[in-house]
Structure 1
Amino acid sequence: MDDYPLLNVFWTMLWFFLWIMWLFLLFKVITDIFRDHSLNGWAKAGWLIFCIVLPYLGVLVYVIARGKSMGARDVKQARESEAAFQDYIRKTAGTPEGGGGGATAELARLADLKEKGAITPEEFEKAKAKVLA
């Protein structure tokens, strides 16, 4: 242990964690290249080759050039996942087919109307109280 001072251990750990963080960023960039529908095949191949041949420079240039749209695609994917999850919950929580929907379906319909702005929050609360009564 005397051969490797404590400060060197901390420096080694710091560089190791920075390397791991860079690997995560590299994989994030590569997945974003394939997820982006605005890039054609040649552009995707070019970015991919750039990130593989010159990884540090390629990732840095990609984040600078396309970082904003990269974040927008992340937000879009998160919203689509949330919408699909909410749709799954609505379908699962509903009554069996042919049952007419019941209170759960009515509340979901009211919530959709409120989200779309078709009814005000006060109207939503009144209708919800009527359904639950």
Structure 2
Amino acid sequence: MGFWDVIGIMFSFVMFAAYLLVLFLVVRDLFSDSPRPGWVKALWILAVLLFPLLGCLAYVLFYGQQMVIRESARRGPARDDVADYRRSANVDPAERIAAAKKLLDDGTITSEEFQLLKAKALG
């Protein structure tokens, strides 16, 4: 086995892995698109199974922009949750307890809720 044979095998492997990635992205997008009727999804699945490369390419050409929009909509709330967690993780426990004490003094929360927030801040 020569050098170019090894390069050819590696190239084939990378192309197959890229195809599988696109295939899984297309199938995931098909099932996550709720407004699309079931029979249209079935036709796309059939097209992707019967004509793998052509079916995936056609789906990405027809629905590529919508795939990006749906993906960003799925990732948006998760990204916001991570940002909120990072902001809350950087807050000093004393500040959290002081904020909870202010809420208790204003009558917004009960003393049980204050104790719960205090325990969360400390531990």
The TM-score with structure 1 as length reference comes to: 0.62
- Specify whether residues 72 and 5 from structure 1 end up closer, same or farther in structure 2 by C-alpha distance, changes over 3 A only: same
Matched positions, count: 98
The residue number in structure 2 matching 1:20 is: 17
- Specify whether residues 48 and 91 from structure 1 end up closer, same or farther in structure 2 by C-alpha distance, changes over 3 A only: farther
Tell me which protein shows more helix as a share of its residues: 2
The residue number in structure 1 matching 2:58 is: 61
| Runs of 4+ in structure 1 over 2 Å off | 83-96, 99-102
How far apart are 1:56 and its partner, in Å?
1.1
Following the alignment from structure 2 to structure 1, what is the Cα–Cα distance between the partners of residues 19 and 11? 12
* AA at the equivalent of 1:10: I
**Identical-pair percentage:** 28
The residue number in structure 2 matching 1:71 is: 68
Higher relative contact order (CA 8 A, sep 6+): 2
How far apart are 1:25 and its partner, in Å?
0.6
How far apart are 1:38 and its partner, in Å?
2.5
* AA at the equivalent of 2:49: I
Per-residue CA deviations over 1:30-56 (Å, capped at 9, x if unaligned) read 001011122111111111111112211
Q: Structure 2, unaligned stretches of length 5 or more?
A: 104-123
Following the alignment from structure 2 to structure 1, what is the Cα–Cα distance between the partners of residues 69 and 41? 18
The TM-score with structure 2 as length reference comes to: 0.66
Q: How does 1:1-133 map to 2 (within 5 A)?
A: 4-87=1-84, 95=96, 99=100
Q: State the superposition RMSD in angstroms.
A: 2.5
- Specify whether residues 87 and 12 from structure 1 end up closer, same or farther in structure 2 by C-alpha distance, changes over 3 A only: same
